[in-house]
Amino acid sequence: MTKLSSAIQQQAAARLHQAISQAEQCLGISLPIPLLRFNQRGRIAGSARLKDYEIRLNPVLLAENTEEFMREVIPHELCHLLVWRLYCRGMRTRSVKPHGKEWKTLMRDIFGLQGKACHQMDIDSVQGRQFDYRCECGPLKLTIRRHNNVLKGVRYICRACKHPLQAL
């Protein structure tokens, strides 16, 4: 596992402050600085915890892809918090989609980014153990969580061919 240096953590915090300033200028409002944590696990680059007003970054992927985090991931997660603050707080129903038009508009207008829902980073270093399964389409892999669910009796169906998955 890659250890995240304090220099990279400071760089991420500085980028978040810069992104907040950009958002404040563009939107004409004052914004609090979200809590920035480096405890996101798995294949996810980052996540925004809306009610906690917090951004979580994956320390392994951040160390391996620092430039992409500064350019795309930090603004991406900040825009989720901005959408929550501007459009969702206090609403009982979820009428705003996580990567919907409001989010895409903020990504474009504030940061000049297209705004993609998923990253394209190499995840080999954070990929957990996988197990071989098959369906009518051919072989595929399940995560350890899904494999353990199969061992407990859960049945998974292939999305493409609609046949049950079977362990190899």
Which residues are part of the catalytic machinery? 77
Task: Please provide the distance, in angstroms rounded to a whole number, between the alpha carbons at the two ends of the chain.
Answer: 29
- Give the span between the Cα atoms of 95 and 97, in whole angstroms: 6
Task: Assess contact for 63 and 1: CB atoms under 8 A.
Answer: no
* Sequential DSSP letters for 65-118: -HHHIIIIIHHHHHHHHHHIIIIITT-SS--S-TTSHHHHHHHHHHH-----SS
Task: Write the Ramachandran bin of 53: left for phi over 0, alpha for psi from -120 to 50, otherwise beta.
Answer: left
Which amino acid is present at 128? G
